[in-house]
Amino acid sequence: MLQSPEKLDFSLPQKKPQDSAVGALTALLLIVLVVLAAANLVVTWSGKSPEPAAGKGLSAEQVKELASKLAQRDLYQQAAAAWQDYLATAKLTGPEEAKTHFQIGTLLEKAGLYADAIEHYYRSETAGEVKELQAEINAHVKECFEKLGKFSALRYELMDRTSLSPSQPAGGKVAAEIEAEKITEAQLDAKIEESIENQLTPMKAFMTPEQLNEQKKRALEQSRNPKTKQEFLEGWLAQEILYRQALQDKLGDKPEVQRVVHDLTRQALSQQLMNEQLASKIHVTDSDLQTYYAANKDEYVEPERAKISHILVKDEGQANDLLKRLMDGADFAAIAKELSLDEATKAGGGRIADEVLKGSRVPGIGDANEINARIFAAGAPAVLEKPFKTDKGWEIVKVEEKHAQRQKSFDEVQQQVGMQLLRQKREEVQREYLKEMMDKHQVVIHTSAFAPAQQETPKETPSKP
């Protein structure tokens, strides 16, 4: 006989009687919540929000005094932060806010935070018009952009500040479009400047910031040529669209591409590490340059040199006839213009532009040891007393000028000395740092692994009787 299934009980459990202490505590908590809610409503109805506790409970005037004291102690960044607390605490008019932002900008500029300083100069102009600040803001903004090395941005900034049509921002003209993205002139110039900075990065270890900025300025001047800018833009666009297509095609997921990216990352990081080491450890002073120059003076000697003219003819007989005429007083330049076979120099009376150095090849003529020796044995001006046979024909040579060997002064070769000393220091730093890293990472090179394999001498097999 089957038993009936057990009935399910859907009735709610009976509440247990609460302890009287627990009930009292609950009631107290409800009262506290009601009081807090009422206080909140009072604040809301009054239309006033609590004053921010800027400056950790200090009044606006106390924060102002703190900011001034910090600035007096040359704690510029901290003083700027205190002035920002003052802005949050005090109730200022537009001009007062503008002056405070200007004050913050100057402090951040002194602290070397040029981008932040520019932001507060802009905020100053937005907060209110203060005529006596305008010229100062212009000067400070210009200085900050220069210190940042943002010369393209500075160019457009100055154009905007001197424009008669402020509603049309300088550099806003669209230079190119990629789908919905528009590339303005200012953005294009910024990309060119970024490219130049990347190219100059390896030179940071060899130049002062001022020298780097000069190099950058020169490169930017050259890049402003319309044709140069268009070529850069076309190259950048080609790379950009290929990059975007590669992302769409998920090329980055391919193992072979990941290997290439990995290798490039390793190269970039190792080079960046070495660049930072070079920049931190190479410091060349004027005294270093003078010392290096004095120790290597022989490298900065200008050899004996001469300037010559020549007449090239076909045969020895004609050469001897012309030489006789020249010795009798005929004009060398006139004969060269009339009879010389060298089209490159005949129009100039046979004058060769490049100097002849003692013991070197003769420009315009070639490797001619005898001619070189005769040039430096003769006086100047003087026609050499015999013609010379060369691969081109027969040469008649006149020595126009001669200059004795001389020691170049430090001022003449200072840049060359600097580059040579920097190159030497770079090699030293690289060598020492690589040795330090090899020791740190326990690098061992087993040179025996690269020795040629020794061939075993074949064993003689005993002959059978």
Domain boundaries, the chain: 60-148, 186-249, 287-295+409-440, 304-404
Cα(105)–Cα(89) distance, integer angstroms: 18
Confidence of residue 53 (pLDDT cuts 50, 70, 90): very low
- Whether residue 425 contacts residue 280, with contact meaning beta carbons closer than 8 Å, is answered with no
160-164, 205-209, 354-358, range with the lowest pLDDT: 160-164
- pLDDT tens per residue, range 257-299: 999 999 999 999 999 899 888 888 888 888 999 999 999 999 9
Quick one: which of 393, 367, 417, 209 has its CA closest to 313? 393
- Spatial separation of the C-alpha atoms in residues 345 and 362, rounded to whole Å: 14
Q: From residue 11, how far is each of 7, 8, 16, 331 by CA, in Å?
A: 12, 9, 15, 135
Can you tell me the distance from the alpha carbon of 86 to that of 66, in angstroms, rounded to the nearest whole number? 10
Tokens representing 78 are 């901290």
**Higher model confidence: residue 171 or residue 33?**
171
Min mean pLDDT across 30-39, 187-196, 281-290 is at: 30-39
pLDDT at residue 190 in the model = 84
- Helix (H) or strand (E) run with residue 73 in it: none
For 60-148, CATH gives 1.25.40.10
Distance CA 338, CA 335 (A): 5
Residues in the chain: 465
The per-residue pLDDT for range 328-365, each reduced to its tens digit, is 999 999 999 999 999 999 999 999 999 999 988 999 89
The CATH fold assigned to 304-404 is Chitinase A; domain 3 (3.10.50)
Q: Which residues of 138-149 are buried (b: 16+ CB within 10 A; e: fewer)?
A: bebbeebbeeeb
- Choose between 31 and 156: higher pLDDT: 156
For the cut 60, the answer to whether the pLDDT of residue 414 exceeds it is yes
The per-residue pLDDT for 59 is 87
Give the pLDDT score at 162. 66
Model confidence at 437, pLDDT cuts 50, 70, 90, reads: very high
